[in-house]
Amino acid sequence: MKTVRHNESIVEIENFLDDKMINRLINFVTNSETNWWGEFNGFVGRVATLPKDIEEELTKNILNCFEYVDVLTPVGTIARYVKGLTFGAHKDNIGSKRINFGIILYPVDDYEGGYLVYPELNLKIKPKAGSMVIHTGEVVHEVTAVTNDKLRYIITAFAHGSETRPAVVKPEYWTDSVNE
DSSP string, 164-180: SS--EE-HHHHSSEE--
Whether 178 is in a domain gets the answer no
Q: Residue 27: which domain range?
A: 2-172
Whether 179 is in a domain gets the answer no
Whether 36 is in a domain gets the answer yes
Number of domains, the chain: 1
Q: Say which CATH number the domain at 102 has.
A: 2.60.120.620
- The Cα–Cα gap between 94 and 67 comes to 22
Per-residue pLDDT reduced to its tens digit, 61-111:
999 999 999 889 878 888 888 888 888 899 988 776 678 999 999 999 999
Per-residue pLDDT reduced to its tens digit, 104-152:
999 999 999 999 999 999 999 999 999 999 999 999 999 999 999 998 9
Between helix 19-31 and helix 52-63 the angle, nearest 10°, is 140
Whether 69 is in a domain gets the answer yes
Whether 27 is in a domain gets the answer yes
Whether 41 is in a domain gets the answer yes
Whether 180 is in a domain gets the answer no
Whether 31 is in a domain gets the answer yes
